[in-house]
Amino acid sequence: MQFKEIIGQERVKQQLVQTVKENRISHAQLFLSPAGSGAVPLAIAYAQYINCLNKGENDSCGECSSCRKYERLIHPDLHFSYPFFASASVKTAVDVLEEWRGMLMQDPYFDIDIWRSKLDAANKQANINIAECHDIIKKLSYKAFEAETKVLIMWLPEYLDKAGNALLKLIEEPPANTLFILIAQSQDQILTTILSRTQIVKIPKLSSEEVTGFLLNSSGLNENQAIDYSFLADGNLIEAKALAADTQSDSSGTFTAWLRMGFGNKVPDLIEFTDEAAKWGRENQKNFLKYGVNYLRECCLILSGAEELVKLPPLTFETAKKLSTHVLTLPMAEAIIGELEKAHYHIERNANPKILFLDVSLQLVKIIKFKTLPAGTQYIYN
């Protein structure tokens, strides 16, 4: 894995390269990042650059013996630790190393749900147990086999629980030329004793432009679809890829048209829309409702006078601004969000989509056309 293969994160890449050039690599680092931002490939590319035999100015060479082994994740001085489901045949992370390597080689952007799908989870909870901690101590006590620096990449140290205390001495006083990279998503869930012994590297979520560019180059979507899915994913490349896998028509245009039908009390058009929406399939229906919730939350920002915080692309922003100025009020937007969230909940539980979308359509007429808010909802303004 080379830095050039990773989507975005140019500032972080430069920061990591600089630590190697200036010989100030902290022996224990915590990569803190939201899901889908590329922390795992960044950690691998960083380790590969450190051990590259012919380093370039900003990246590893990709051709030396060390880089070739890193590319296949088989370097003897590169170790991984991650949550797994312990059983009689699976006692430490090494027992599912082939599955781990296979997933990483297929796509280095993944989350715990994708990882779980590669394993026999049954009803067990994933964790990093005490046996795994002892195995880490054993592996890192050996001398480096061929690289200058041994590297341990631990994904999701949040799953360590109290077993992580067994690693404290090793993290604080590691063997010579040993690098720990912990990759976490929630700082609050990590043992404070471990947190205090690491240098935090904050990795931001990807920008909408970076996700849009990736979708346009890799998935064959048109520009409107790529922008819509980037907005929905909110910097999470895993989510963006999942959305692109079930390509749907322009969410922005379809959703605003649905709102206009409700405002115009166009019941025949709403019935026609309901028939069409019922054919989309459950995942596309959920994505459409999720888009609507996010879109209306942006409208709430406009209605609250916080336009500078809105993340919508220019054309969609102009449409949202017109809707917010001439059609929606803040109570109406909040009431519609409530209806869409309930609909999303019921779609997940296999509700009849035709009945459900017709019901939500009629609720839109009540809220937007007749300004009738759901019973029990009260708004108090100064």
Q: Which residues contact residue 243 at a Cβ distance below 8 angstroms, ignoring those fewer than 6 apart?
A: 229, 232, 233, 287
Give per-residue pLDDT as tens, 133-143. Answer: 999 999 988 88
Please report the pLDDT score of residue 87 as a whole number.
Answer: 83
Please report the pLDDT score of residue 246 as a whole number.
Answer: 58
Lowest mean pLDDT among 7-11, 76-80, 86-90: 86-90
DSSP string for residues in 258-299:
HHHHHHTT-HHHHHHHHHHHTTS-HHHHHHHHHHHHHHHHHH
Please report the pLDDT score of residue 319 as a whole number.
Answer: 86
Please report the pLDDT score of residue 380 as a whole number.
Answer: 46
- Any long-range contacts for 237-240 (C-beta under 8 Å, 24+ apart)? 237/7, 237/36, 237/37, 237/38, 237/109, 237/206, 237/211, 238/35, 238/36, 238/109, 238/110, 238/111, 238/114, 239/35, 239/36, 240/36, 240/211, 240/214, 240/215
Please report the pLDDT score of residue 311 as a whole number.
Answer: 75
Please report the pLDDT score of residue 382 as a whole number.
Answer: 40
Burial of 261 from C-beta contacts in 10 A (0-12 / 13-18 / 19+): buried
DSSP string for residues in 139-189:
HHHSPPSSSSSEEEEEE-GGGGGGGGGGGHHHHHSPPTTEEEEEEES-GGG
- Give the chain's length: 382
Give per-residue pLDDT as tens, 288-322. Answer: 898 899 889 989 999 998 988 887 777 778 888 88
Q: Identify the architecture of domain 3-204 in CATH.
A: 3-Layer(aba) Sandwich (3.40)
- Residue 381's pLDDT band, with cuts at 50, 70 and 90, is very low
**How far is residue 72 from each of residues 76, 114, 151, 297, measured CA to CA in Å?**
11, 20, 15, 44
Q: Tell me the pLDDT of the chain averaged across its residues.
A: 87
More confident residue, 36 or 225: 36
Strand order in the sheet with 78-81: 78-81, 150-155, 178-184, 28-32, 199-202
- Residue 250's pLDDT band, with cuts at 50, 70 and 90, is low
**Domain boundaries defined on the chain:** 3-204, 248-369
Mark 333-370 as b/e (b = at least 16 C-beta within 10 Å): bbbbbbbbebbbebbeeebebeebbbbbbebbbbbbee
- Residue 159's pLDDT band, with cuts at 50, 70 and 90, is confident
- Residue 112's pLDDT band, with cuts at 50, 70 and 90, is confident
Helices of type H across 313-352: 314-326, 330-348
∠319-325-327 over CA atoms, to 5°? 85
Please report the pLDDT score of residue 358 as a whole number.
Answer: 95
- Which phi and psi angles does 283 have, rounded to 5°? -65, -40
Please report the pLDDT score of residue 98 as a whole number.
Answer: 93
In the chain, the percentage of residues whose pLDDT exceeds 70 is: 96
Q: How far apart are CA 371 and CA 27, in angstroms?
A: 61
Please report the pLDDT score of residue 249 as a whole number.
Answer: 47
Q: How far apart are CA 368 and CA 372, in angstroms?
A: 8
- Residue 52's pLDDT band, with cuts at 50, 70 and 90, is very high
Please report the pLDDT score of residue 122 as a whole number.
Answer: 61
Give per-residue pLDDT as tens, 189-232. Answer: 888 888 888 899 999 998 888 988 988 888 777 888 788 788 87
The pTM for the full model equals 0.71
Please report the pLDDT score of residue 247 as a whole number.
Answer: 52
Q: How many CA atoms lie within 13 A of 68 on its CB side?
A: 3
The CATH number of domain 248-369, selected from 1.20.272, 1.10.10, 2.60.120, 1.10.3470: 1.20.272
**In the predicted structure, residue 368 carries a pLDDT above the cut 50:** yes
**In the predicted structure, residue 351 carries a pLDDT above the cut 50:** yes
Q: How far apart are CA 202 and CA 246, in angstroms?
A: 32
**How far is residue 127 from each of residues 85, 121, 156, 157, 198, measured CA to CA in Å?**
7, 11, 9, 9, 21
**Dihedral through CA 25, CA 27, CA 28, CA 29, nearest 10?**
10
The arithmetic mean of pLDDT across residues 36-51, rounded, is: 93
